[in-house]
A and B are shown apart, each in its own frame.
Chain A
Amino acid sequence: MIPAPFDYVAPSTVDDAVRALAEAGEDAKIIAGGQSLLPVLRMRLAAPTSLIDLNRIPELRGVRDDGDALVIGSMTTHYDVQRDPLIAEHAALLAKATDTVADPQVRHRGTFGGSIAHADPAGDLLAPALALDTEMVVAGPDGRRTVPAADFFEDFFTTALRPDEILVEVRVPKHTGWHAHYEKFNRVAQAWSMVAVAATVRTDGGTIAEARVGLTNMSSVPVRARAVEEALVGRPATAESIRAAAEHAAEGTNPTVDGNADVEYRQHLARVLTGRAIQAAMAG
């Protein structure tokens, strides 16, 4: 369990990091919290020639208010996301999903941006990022560009990030006053999701005015449960209408099969957990 040899650079600005990445060439890798990358290196499933460490770049850390959106620096740790007052107020879904990630040690090291860039369909922050219509701001040799979440996740562990680009921040439109819940299903507490549902809802009187539902691990990328959202909007926020809407949860999903779940079971879970997520959001 010793990684293959590699060079190591720890720049202190984004510009330097972009430059270092370009110089290091194809086989370079960014290291953020290292919580996904290090196991891969230690098992020698990957052997990058150099690592560009983002941990010494202060501008990549923290959350700021930018009018109708929050901007979360990619190197903000899970621990900081969990405790950030702006996130609690304007993007509660993100904090709730982050609460379910791993264990305290991992949450102190692992980063929000690292999770997004890693793009594991079982990762817990992708579905919330999708449901909240976030945008990824990436920096490369030609400057910065913005990619909406819906276009960012392309396949298993594959994003719109080019090898010479760095994810610098994530713009999260404010969802102030929305109800939110992340319903996660796994076999042991500190594990990733077998299936999970990110739900956030805005009510108006007793009626559901807007709803966003994202599914974790129901495809090679996070999935938006549009049919559920449509079935909810304009309905009274009752157990019955929630249950009826949740029946649509598995539509269009294409989950993987593993020892823990086949397609039938995963799709069944998606329906049950969607109902529960929305119920819990309403109750919370």
Chain B
Amino acid sequence: MTATMEPEVGKGRLRKEDARLIAGRTRWTDNITLPGMVHLAVLRSTAAHAKIVNIDTSAAKEMPGVIAVYTGDDLDPEGAIGMPCAWPITPDMKSPRRPVLAQGKVNFAGEGVAVVVARSAGEAEDALAEIDVDYEDLPVVLGLENALAEDAPLVHEELGTNRNALWKFDSGEAGSGGDVEQAINEAEVVLKRRFRQQRLVPAFMEPRSCVVDPTAPQLTMWSATQIPHILKTMSALTLGIPEHKIRVIAPDVGGGFGGKIAVLPEEIMSLLVAQKLGRPVKWTESRSETMAAAHHGRDQIQDLTIAAKRDGTVTGLKVELMADMGAYLGLVGPGVPILGAFMFNAIYKIPAYHFACTNVFTNTTLTDAYRGAGRPEATFGIERMMDELAAELGMDPMELREKNWIKHDEFPYTTVSTLTYDSGNYEAATEKAMQLFDYEGLRREQAERRERNDPVQLGIGISTFTEMCGLAPSRVLGSLDYGAGGWEHAAIRMLPTGKVEVITGSSAHGQGHETAWSQIVSDQLGVPFEDIEVLHGDTQSSHKGLDTYGSRSLAVGGIAVVKAAEKVIEKAKKIAAHMMECSEDDLEFSGGKFTVKGTDKSTGIGDVAFAAFMAHDLPDGVEPSLDSEAVYDPENFSFPHGTHLCAAEVDTETGRVRLRKYVCVDDVGKVVNPIIVEGQMHGGLAQGIAQALFEEAVFDESGTLTSGTFADYLLPSAADLPSFTTDRTETPSTTNPLGVKGVGEAGTIASTPAVVNAVVDAVRHFGVNDIEMPLSPMRVWKAVHSGEKAAGGPGAEAGGGLGSIDATHGGAQ
């Protein structure tokens, strides 16, 4: 065997996990069947806000196959159990108790009220209809401004307010910049806008599911979760089960997008019921339950004020947000808008900055992390503002951005919101994007179409975004009162036959960690890609970890893998030196071999692993193992960036938007696997574009979710999207040894404002300067023809097998 191995990092490998996922040769949580297992079905509140006067479960208990029916009071008579929120953003944050099943009162439509346990899932569902709940309606609180109004009814009477918390940052006070009020007072141009971030549903493919086996001394819980490790610890804390008596397994998980970064009442309920009955239980939700009861994302009103000089120099930015938490706080819900606090200033040198966010309770499904979490909202706000400012100043919007952005030779750069961007090159990404896009050519066509009053107008939208990801330096999280650190764990087991097991605390749920981690380890240890197995998601094998969210897996978990590999080599070196009777200093390691410098004498790492296993002849004091582990705490976030350009055609006769061209040049640092990166970009773009054009979770005035099925919550398919032109520049991160930055959220964060900017640009000459998302054809048409910017509801389209059937109220719409 020759020593020249092509590096694995950078290779566009197809994912090793795909064959089993695509062919279904795997077990999702719902496929798990245990002897004696019983099934749970949850009765969900039809009222958004009501007192529970009485729950009569007697008829349901008589139904065929039913083993038990429990209410909240049955499971938690003392009312002592509350679902955890791990992010108290301010010391005085209001944190209402969220019970496992509603007790005394329901606070959103979809909240669990009772659970049926039956021999089959069908029988459990049949029995739900026999439970009789007597509700006494309370006034329903919907809408941020309504909830904050003087005499608004309260979601939680005992809190005395619907205000959850007020979180502020001010560059004047922090000393990181000037006073924003002064900047505004002295500005040559001041522009104010209000933007609305509609509510979205993190539409993962696999519904949530959980199985609990209580029949061994150590409880085992399988869950379709992003966060098996956090779930284990939180379950222990929530129920007072000793932590070592719980094992959590996230088997293959079908997507999450933040929607599975939660500790679910249903998971806690499953633990309680399994323990009560001493039998394995399974809960698997229906899609309707996902829509109504799984947490939603976004939902903010953004009031932005930007101050500038006439020449385009931005002098200040003031951001006032209201963020809808829904009825309770999710695991990290209150912190989601705060993640945006550091990103409104984006890639720009803004000398004065103020951010304030008021979190608000309403009688709706709770909100929490959804792909991008806080950063899409911020990016949307600033990138829309830059276009509005350019229009106000009569400047080309790219020129305005260029005037204000951080130049490549100014890195590292400490921003007005106190982050230090380690690296980046906005000029390079922009130049490449502009060329691929043919910016000049499209601007010409736009002018021609305007000139001849073409019914189809063309617009160009820009988003030069950055984001902070790779969550996160533990100390920074500490300063933000986050309830955990941000490190990640990895371990490497060198097997006697030279094969390698890699254990990671990241919890893959579709991203391709097994492939990427194998590529990294292959390079680090010089073992073939095929000889590496990656283990994850089971707290018994992967005992330590902080899981996957915030584009952290590679930039934190991947680096932990590198650190563990370094330790393996360090250990192996001692044994190799002993084997070849030389000094450790004489050895160099490359391509999987220790070579005595200047000679052709070498020993492969597999031989060393075998020698360690045999342990017949090891140097004194050396343990017979190469296995190593590492915990890596990043010193900084990673800051991917990119230039996204969108050309949108607007049919002014119908209001239909057609994306004509979408070009993005992203800089995600060093790339481990370009195919995976490309996949992340495509999926991310689809979700970001979906926010701009298609998706919205809508409640009617009674607090019922009217977009409760995929027939009326519009997910685009490939047929609704243009062919993307994706390209990259590569400016390595300087804060980690691989030079990598996260890519999991980039496409979603960047694309939404690019699309809205393009549509507004296409019809600005009709006097339009904003249209609310999603930009439905009716909204666009009305904006053009009557200046309304939020016509109609975004609402429901007849769709799916349901057509005009109104799934919410039954019958025709």
Contact = CB atoms under 8 A, between A and B. Distances in A.
A190 interface: yes
Contacts of B449: none
A188 B717 contact: yes
Nearest to B715: A188
B803 A259 contact: no
A249 to B, nearest CB: 13
Given A156-B804, A157-B812, A191 B288 contact: no
Interface in A214-259: 217, 220, 256, 258-259
A82 interface: no
A120 interface: yes
Contact of B717 (A157, A189, A262, A269): A189
Contact of B792 (A1, A120, A191, A262): A262
B804 A1 contact: no
Given A1-B288, A187-B777, A262-B792, A122 B803 contact: yes
Nearest to B693: A187
Nearest to A3: B122
B797 A194 contact: yes
Contacts of B712: 259
A39 interface: yes
B694 A2 contact: no
A79 interface: no
Contacts of A55: none
A192 B288 contact: no
Contacts of B810: 45
Contacts of B126: 4-5
B720 interface: yes
Interface string B690-719: 000010001000000010010110111101
Contacts of A8: none
A120 B804 contact: yes
Nearest to B698: A259
Interface in A168-200: 185-194
Contacts of A187: 694, 714, 776-777, 797
A259 B799 contact: no
A157 B716 CA distance: 27
Dominant secondary structure at the B interface: loop
Contacts of A118: 803
A194 B720 contact: no
A121 B804 contact: yes
Interface in A108-147: 118, 120-123
A157 B811 CA distance: 9
A272 interface: yes
Contacts of A185: 654, 656, 777
B202 interface: no
A260 B778 contact: yes
B795 interface: yes
Contacts of A186: 797, 799
Nearest to B286: A1
Nearest to B706: A259
Given A45-B810, A258-B813, A260-B776, A191 B804 contact: no
Given A39-B802, A258-B813, A265 B720 contact: no
Interface in B760-813: 776-778, 781-782, 791-805, 807, 810-813
Interface in A14-62: 35-36, 38-40, 43-45
Contacts of B778: 260-262, 265
Nearest to A272: B653
A36 B776 contact: no
A192 B795 CA distance: 14
A258 B803 contact: no
Contacts of A43: 288, 709, 802, 807
Contacts of B794: 259-260
Contact of B796 (A1, A5, A258, A273): A258
Contact of A260 (B715, B797, B802, B812): B797
A239 B471 CA distance: 60
A272 B777 CA distance: 13
A256 B800 CA distance: 18
A265 to B, nearest CB: 5
Contacts of B567: none
B804 A192 contact: yes
A40 B653 contact: no
B121 interface: yes
Contact of A191 (B653, B798, B807): B798
B288 A258 contact: no
Contact of B719 (A121, A123, A190): A190
B627 interface: no
Nearest to B707: A259
Contacts of A260: 776-778, 792, 794-797
Given A120-B805, A272-B654, A2 B121 contact: yes
Contacts of A194: 777, 797-798
B208 to A, nearest CB: 13
Nearest to B653: A272
B287 interface: yes
Of A118, A121, A192, A268, the most chain B CB neighbours within 10 A belong to A192
27 contacts: A2-B121, A5-B122, A35-B801, A39-B801, A39-B802, A40-B802, A40-B805, A43-B802, A44-B129, A45-B810, A120-B804, A122-B798, A122-B804, A157-B805, A186-B797, A188-B714, A188-B720, A188-B797, A190-B799, A192-B798, A259-B712, A259-B776, A260-B796, A261-B778, A265-B778, A265-B791, A272-B654
Please give me the 3 A-B residue pairs with the lowest Cβ-Cβ distance, nearest first.
Answer: A259-B795, A259-B793, A39-B801
Given A43-B802, A194-B777, 5 more contacts: A1-B286, A4-B126, A43-B288, A188-B694, A265-B781
